Amino acid sequence: MRSRPGRGHTQDTNSFFMCRRLRALGVRVARISVVPDEVEAIASEVAAFAARFTYVLTSGGIGPTHDDVTFEAVARAFGEKVAPHPELVALVHKFFGKTEAQCPEMKLARVPESSCLNYGTDGRTGGASKYPLVSVRNVYIFPGIPALMERALDGLTHLFRSEQTRFHSRTIYVAADEILIAPVLDQAHATFQGRVSLGSYPDWASNYYRVKLTLDSESEQDLEEAYRFLMEKLPTGVVVPLVTDCVSPAATQVYGLAESELRVVQALGSRL
């Protein structure tokens, strides 16, 4: 969940990063919500998500300015007030050199009453992070600046890692229109529903394929069975390799082709 809906001023990369990281940790992301910088709107969404999901991650809205209202909104979601946290007050004083209760920076230290402070690992130094992530129950309040959010999440993976769950994935690239393979996709969905998640994503801008198929499952056996099913059922010749770097191997391939042609010419010449 993130505050600040799309106004066209910034591009959201936090959702994509969080989804990839959480998936690698065995956590399935069920929903992403974008809400305005309004206390009631954020509080309502946080309360609903917290009651329904195991983890709720927010990003943004925890700075010193007027529109940074996430702490207040999360407090309201749980019927709490915000109050200065002594440890955060000390950190604000250390980082900003400010002690005045009403200084803008001190807003960072006013958090929901039942807040927990989570210190992660600093990926650059390997030691403990200098500033903690605030959480309230199952709600984890991340900064909105991508570099800070990414660093915080990478340092706190132990909070979210699921040892029981591991996702397995396969990708198939198809050089054919989606409508042509729709019947096969319907068959695969009916056959593996509940065991394998099948996604179909057309890409008209690619020079190599028209549709990317994704297969995801917690069972590697089910995943491979679904993969074989599609490879057998898809029309002959439509599955293609994805070439992400056609420049680097070009010279080797061209020289290899030239050497093959030379050998053919030499063989023909030996017969003449």
If one counts the domains in the chain, the total is 3
pLDDT at 164: 81
pLDDT at 83: 96
Q: Are the C-beta atoms of residues 188 and 230 closer than 8 Å to each other?
A: yes
pLDDT at 21: 94
Co-location of 48 and 174 in the same domain = no
* 8-state DSSP, 235: P
pLDDT at 122: 87
Co-location of 227 and 250 in the same domain = no
Co-location of 255 and 236 in the same domain = no
Name the nearest CA neighbour of 227 among 217, 215, 219: 215
What is the rounded distance in angstroms from the CA atom of residue 136 to the CA atom of residue 178?
45
Q: At what angle do helices 146-155 and 14-24 cross, to 10 degrees?
A: 10
Co-location of 58 and 134 in the same domain = yes
What is the rounded distance in angstroms from the CA atom of residue 108 to the CA atom of residue 72?
11
CATH of the domain at 32: 3.40.980.10
Give pLDDT tens digits along the chain (272 positions): 665 555 556 678 999 999 999 999 999 999 999 999 999 999 999 999 999 999 999 999 999 999 999 999 999 999 999 999 999 999 999 988 877 777 888 999 999 999 999 999 987 788 889 999 999 999 999 999 999 999 999 999 999 998 888 889 999 999 999 999 999 999 999 999 999 999 999 999 888 899 999 999 999 999 999 999 999 999 999 999 987 666 666 667 666 666 666 665 566 655 55
The H or E element containing residue 212 is strand 211-217
Co-location of 79 and 37 in the same domain = yes
pLDDT at 1: 66
Tell me the CA distances in angstroms from 167 to 155, 195, 221, 228, one per residue in order: 21, 12, 12, 18
Tell me the pLDDT tens digit for each residue of 45-63: 999 999 999 999 999 999 9
pLDDT at 126: 81
Q: At what angle do helices 70-77 and 39-52 cross, to 10 degrees?
A: 50
What is the rounded distance in angstroms from the CA atom of residue 131 to the CA atom of residue 63?
14
* 8-state DSSP, 140: E
Task: Determine the residue type at 232.
Answer: E
pLDDT at 124: 79
Boundary-marking domain end, from 124, 159, 194:
159
Name the nearest CA neighbour of 28 among 207, 167, 236: 167
Co-location of 104 and 7 in the same domain = yes
SS3 (DSSP) at 27: coil
Q: Domain containing 179: what range?
A: 168-240
pLDDT at 185: 97
pTM, two decimal places? 0.76
What is the rounded distance in angstroms from the CA atom of residue 219 to the CA atom of residue 225?
10
Co-location of 67 and 122 in the same domain = yes
SS3 (DSSP) at 184: helix
